[in-house]
Amino acid sequence: MTHLFISPHFDDAVLSCGGTIHQLVAAGETVDVRTIMAGIPHQLPESAFVHELHARWQNETNPVQMRIEEDEAAINRLGAKPSHLVNWLDCIYRTGRSGEALYPDETSIFGDINPDDRTAKLLPTIVLNSFEIPRYIYAPLGAGHHVDHQIVRNWAVTLKQYYPWVALKFYEEYPYIEQSDAVDKALTFFQETYPALRLKLETVSLTEADIQGKLDAVACYKSQISSFWTDQQHMETSIRQSLLRGGQTPGERFWVVL
């Protein structure tokens, strides 16, 4: 494996880096997109928020399996290899020792990591298999402050410590980058928590083929369209606009660890 994109959920890497993934694959590179919070819960927490999300996704019977299939379709569409870590649940399904939802509403999933969240403590202890250590790791920057993005970001920092020779790049998460201060807040975290970690902005310029490849892949996440956009046309227009932030040439932005 050459390039490993670690995605907190079933869509984050494609939404944020789909054009770059398409470009790498077209150049003959080997790309693995690994979704981290990909487990299927055996029992749902007593959370109105979970039921609300399942209703929005129009699947209350087996929504996670549906999202797995969407994720595989999207990543396969880009020509990359999809993989999933099935031991970790999305934060909306995680519970405390008494069975209570750790993140019971939208405010909580964009807040601080719950101190009782075992995933936040255990995930950074996981290492990669020796045969699959890549040349490049791409991880979420933490823009938007979603708890799962924070946890995966922290794991990526630990992986860099385990494998200092591996290049680490943090991707700016779409659609959270639409919030005016999301990226600045994420960078402030690094300055305060990892002051020795120097980051440099890198923009990957995209061709029309890369952009269309990304749009086709994002369209595979049918359950998520209504969460961010009014319809598929709105999705395509919004993503094209987002790719122009910071310049006239469409591109996706990464913060490279020096």
List of the chain residues with pLDDT < 70: 1, 60
Could you list the residue range(s) of the whole structural domain that residue 183 is in? 3-257
Q: Residue 110 to residues 106, 116, 140, 143: CA-CA distances in angstroms?
A: 7, 16, 14, 10
CATH number at residue 54: 3.40.50.10320
What's the confidence (pLDDT) of residue 17?
98
What's the confidence (pLDDT) of residue 50?
87
Beta carbons of 119 and 94 less than 8 angstroms apart: yes
The whole-angstrom separation of Cα 173 and Cα 245 is 13
Q: What is the pTM of this model?
A: 0.96
Beta carbons of 133 and 163 less than 8 angstroms apart: yes
How many degrees, rounded to 5, is the angle at CA 231 between CA 225 and CA 233? 115
What's the confidence (pLDDT) of residue 120?
96
Interval 164-219: pLDDT, tens = 999 999 999 999 999 989 999 999 999 999 999 999 999 999 999 999 999 999 99
- The angle that helices 12-26 and 63-78 make with each other, rounded to 10 degrees, is 20
Q: How many structural domains does the chain have?
A: 1
The whole-angstrom separation of Cα 35 and Cα 86 is 9
What's the confidence (pLDDT) of residue 1?
64
